[in-house]
Amino acid sequence: MPGPIQSIERAAAMLRLLARGSGHHGLAEIAAALGLAKGTAHGILRTLQRVEFVEQDQSTGRYRLGAALLHLGTSYLDANELRSRSINWADTLAARSGHEVRIGMHLDGAVLVVHHVFRPDDTMQTLGIGGMLPLHATALGKVLLAYDAGLLATIRRAELTSLTRRTIVRPSALERVLAEVRAAGWASEAEEYMPGEAGIAAPIRMPGGLVVGAIGISGAVDRICQTANRPRQALVDHVCHAAEAVSRSLATDN
Partner DNA sequence: GGCGATCGGTCGGCATTGTCGAACGGTGCT
Partner DNA sequence: AGCACCGTTCGACAATGCCGACCGATCGCC
What residues line the site for a copy of itself (CB under 8 A)?
A: 1, 3-5, 7-9, 11-13, 15-16, 18-19, 22-24, 43-44, 46-48, 50-53, 64-80, 105, 107-108, 112, 114, 127, 129-132
Residue 19 backbone zone (phi > 0: left; psi -120 to 50: alpha; other: beta): alpha
7 binds DNA per the rule CB under 7 A: yes
Cα gap 126→169, rounded to integer Å: 29
Burial pattern 36-49, b for ≥16 Cβ within 10 A else e, equals: beeeebbebbeebe
Q: Using CB distances below 5 to 8 A depending on partner kind, what does residue 226 bind out of DNA, a copy of itself, none? A: none
Cα gap 175→183, rounded to integer Å: 12
3-state secondary structure of 132: strand
**To the nearest whole angstrom, how small is the minimum distance from the Cβ of residue 33 to DNA?**
12
Cα distance between the two ends of the chain: 34
**To the nearest whole angstrom, how small is the minimum distance from the Cβ of residue 47 to DNA?**
8
**To the nearest whole angstrom, how small is the minimum distance from the Cβ of residue 7 to DNA?**
3
**To the nearest whole angstrom, how small is the minimum distance from the Cβ of residue 204 to DNA?**
25
For the window 49-88, what string marks contact with DNA as x by the rule CB under 7 A? Answer: -------x----xx--------------------------
39 binds DNA per the rule CB under 7 A: yes
- Residue 135's CB is within 10 A of a number of other CB atoms, namely 25
209 binds DNA per the rule CB under 7 A: no
152 binds DNA per the rule CB under 7 A: no
Q: Using CB distances below 5 to 8 A depending on partner kind, what does residue 251 bind out of DNA, a copy of itself, none? A: none
**To the nearest whole angstrom, how small is the minimum distance from the Cβ of residue 152 to a copy of itself?**
19
Is 143 or 168 the residue whose CB approaches a copy of itself more closely?
Answer: 143
DSSP string, 31-95: HHHHT--HHHHHHHHHHHHHTTSEEE-TTT--EEE-THHHHHHHHHHHH-HHHHHHHHHHHHHHH
Q: Using CB distances below 5 to 8 A depending on partner kind, what does residue 45 bind out of DNA, a copy of itself, none? A: DNA
Q: Which residues neighbour 214 within 8 Å (Cβ) at sequence distance 6 or greater?
A: 103, 104, 105, 111, 139, 140, 141, 143, 144, 201, 202, 203, 204, 243
**To the nearest whole angstrom, how small is the minimum distance from the Cβ of residue 27 to DNA?**
3
Is 109 or 185 the residue whose CB approaches a copy of itself more closely?
Answer: 109
43 binds DNA per the rule CB under 7 A: yes
